[in-house]
Amino acid sequence: MAERRVFTLSQVAQHKSNKDCWLVINGRVLDVTKFLEEHPGGEEVILEVAGKDATKEFDVIGHSKAAQNMVLKYQVGVLQGATVQEVKDVVDKESDTKEMSAFVIKESARSKSLVFYEFFVPLLVAALYFGYRCLTY
């Protein structure tokens, strides 16, 4: 993005419908209207945080690297007063190709316990949920 458009949170808040949906992630203002139908978690999840700073919700979910990279595709500007990390080329170790990354994740800094919490805990929670639903249905 050659020129950075700067938006206030009140400007972002004017875009909170399924026909015009904006949100903020890590200081980046995103127009995710076209992504609503494609979102794996359903559009309702995004509409709950539409017009707001959704950084906390985005980070808590533990989105994949691919999902984190998609942030750039929908970026329309930055939030006023926010410090936004510049985009850097990152080499994907699995495919050995360069890709743009909105978030630089240092693999060496990630501990095995973090991988456990990012993968196995959500898997366990999902298994418990579906097990409970099967037993009570």
Judged by average pLDDT, the poorest of 20-24, 30-34, 83-87 is 83-87
Q: Assign 115 a pLDDT band (cuts: 50, 70, 90).
A: low
Tell me the mean pLDDT in the region 19-32: 93
Which among 29, 38, 39 has a CA at the least distance from the CA of 8?
Answer: 29
Q: What dotted CATH number matches 6-105?
A: 3.10.120.10
For 64, the token pair is 């994949």
Residue boundaries of the structural domains of the chain: 6-105, 109-137
How far CA 77 is from CA of 29, 80, 107, 136, in Å, comes to: 5, 9, 28, 47
- Phi first, then psi, for residue 121 (nearest 5°) are -65, -50
pTM of the model: 0.59
Q: What is the pLDDT of residues 55-111, one digit of tens each?
A: 898 888 878 787 778 888 899 999 998 888 765 544 344 444 444 334 333 333 445
